[in-house]
Structure 1
């Protein structure tokens, strides 16, 4: 399981490639003076020739304008990445930290995330799982701040490998599957091949060999299609492990040989060592002890040259088994004790508990952030409700006012109508009275005239 740790760095480099144009955020909008094509060439060169990529980046860094912080950050990041491929972790961490400080000073969230991802990778490879997890979590948070959550897939893959190295296969598989399903956008084939290899590792540890081989075949096809030699040699190494565990030593030897050849062509130091360890185990299973011892001592020498605890652990374990078969129990015990000591240093319970504590704290922070978001939304809803209530109250008062105005208007109209009716009644009464008076005058006049006539006649 541990021999696959270099897969971590693939996810880190992928993040570097995706952020070639990066988001500088509103606080810093100055673009890089170096063209994107320059960064793309350096990125591709890191895989084929880390030393050349390192020299090119250092040369550009020396001639760079001091105000061009964007280019400076990216170049220091690539220099750190080249040192990682050379397994020179102190220098890698040095340049990554310088790049991280520059990126944080201008709130360059995209690159802050990428560099934290790379630092997590380095600490993971060196067995500092607590530091690795902290940096990887910081990478996830900064991808969110940068507004590029689709770039989290490489980091999720790296966190999965952290759990894989802690023998928590279920948790590791969850992260690998999340890395594949983070978005519907087309994914980088290098990263997809890496994740498929890691999923195969999980299935291998769960004794699901058919599923593991299927995942490996998919990864190999993808790597060959895109000429991804790094993932390809790792795929064959894992395939060798599967065949060896099932007792098919011929296929295992063939797979390890392919892995070593591809790693030699790409000058991939750790993968060469891992393939040699696999070949040594196969030869030991075939009772070819002398050839196996040759491979074991060679790997131990390589591990001591690079001061790699991972390689030392596997080399000591292989040598312990070899000397046991040679019946040299004293040397076998010495190598086994070294193996146990190194393994305990890398996987002690304190570190495991620290990892889980960090994860719980991160989850607690996420819960707090989610609660703050909920409170914020509730406050916004409350404000909207208050505004709606106020508007409703105003509307109701307006309706009441309109209604009262309408009623007042009706009362005025009714009073005016009553006044008009009274006036008309007065006029009608006056007219009737005048008509009655005129009629009486007419009748009186007629009586007067008739009486006069009668008197005259009498």
Structure 2
């Protein structure tokens, strides 16, 4: 039987993704639909909104079968939507990409893309996408067992669903929140969410969540020692599970009923429930036809124990299952059992009526048997007739084969003569061809040896050139970093100390002449002291930028955080958000930390100076074997093709540092759309 916490978590994640995709994507996921959409994409090469929607449709049709196959179509649709400024299509593409990464188990990437969806949303039309993104972010945290964070984002999504009056997605969110509260051990909160889910309109609820929510209600009451309410909830869950054929949930409900009955001393009922659980497990292996006889056996046990009402209910359910499956033997047995039970209760009229129905079903079963026997006899007759025809056909084929053998023997005599002549010609031809082949092989071998030696020299030259370029870049960057340290140390130890001495002397002179100075002279002394203080602070700031002590002592993550705090104080209209993953307790290679710190400095200063942005997101995420840097702003953006030489110097410096680390850099910017810079740097194991 499936473990309940694991089943609940998997069900919740799939429910979140279904809530994030359209209703059509939930139902139309067949290969035939995919082939149809691909045909329409090939027949519609125009770069317009229709092609974007078709590419998104192809991705939706394959995402649940293979999320990796959906990603290339989504990247095409996103690039095309951005090219034609189709905002809605780009937003939908990013949203489905997040779902694909979540289905692949890459929760971090899915979370980043869902946050991008939230930032891309522009107005009331996109509020539903924001709610879905919050819901799916909660799902990524559930995949990582971070239930507190999952609860926070799911609540945000639920509030927006309620505001939008979207009962379908609100019901899905409530079911997930109830599961999370249960996993956190907060049963009163789980009970509240489950009851809120049950208050949703019946048209938007799902059978699986109906049963799961009812089980959660019972479990919450059970944990709070409200046993009558717990029993009622378990029994309702059992009825719903049987109604919709949810055998795993039916087994879970019976297990809880057995435990509850055992706890209150109702051992006979607990034994019946335990046997039903075993029967259901066997039924899952045997098939649905076994359900009729399982229910009949359970009814017999109840009748033997004197629970006649419960026995009648089980016999009637057995009859309903037999009718549903067209099981004549099951129907006959159910009518016979109901007749015997009615006779035991003294209701002889009902007993007679049930016996009559059992006899009628038996007649139908007998007629069906006779019909099958007649059909079998007819089949045997047809088979014998076909065998006779086949025997006659085989005899004709044997005569034809004898004639063919005679003709073949004549042809063999002629062919033997021809083969003798051909063998002589083949020997001569073989000798000639062998000589030519040997000569060609010798020439080819010589050429291959020459080409291999030449290729090896070219590879050695290329490797040597790459080594020299790396050494040159390393030397330039090391020299630049050393010069920064020297200038920073000189400013701090030289100019900074001199300005401090000047401040002390001017301050002492001010105190000595305080009584002899006029108010205007005293004010000028004060202005001079303030100017010296400002100079000291400016020198210290320049020194720290050139020689960041935080980077040397505490690592990249804390140094970047300290730098961004400083920039936040100087650029108050710019809201800066920083997210780091996998770097808090880890130090990288000093060369990597120094180069990345200078890259971040250059990018942030460019945003402050040129972007006119009000928001900036900076993410440092460490993956196994690589580090990803993402810097994104909502500024005015720019066109890479029109950059001037003085503006392009900064980007060239960034590219050279990333290239020095062996990484890749991608800049995505358009006028009026902000800028996104992504750098990926390999890390040693």
Q: With structure 2 as the length reference, what TM-score do the two structures score? A: 0.32
Q: Which has the higher contact order (CA 8 A, sep 6+)?
A: 1
Bigger proportion of residues as strand: 2
Q: With structure 1 as the length reference, what TM-score do the two structures score? A: 0.45
Bigger proportion of residues as helix: 1
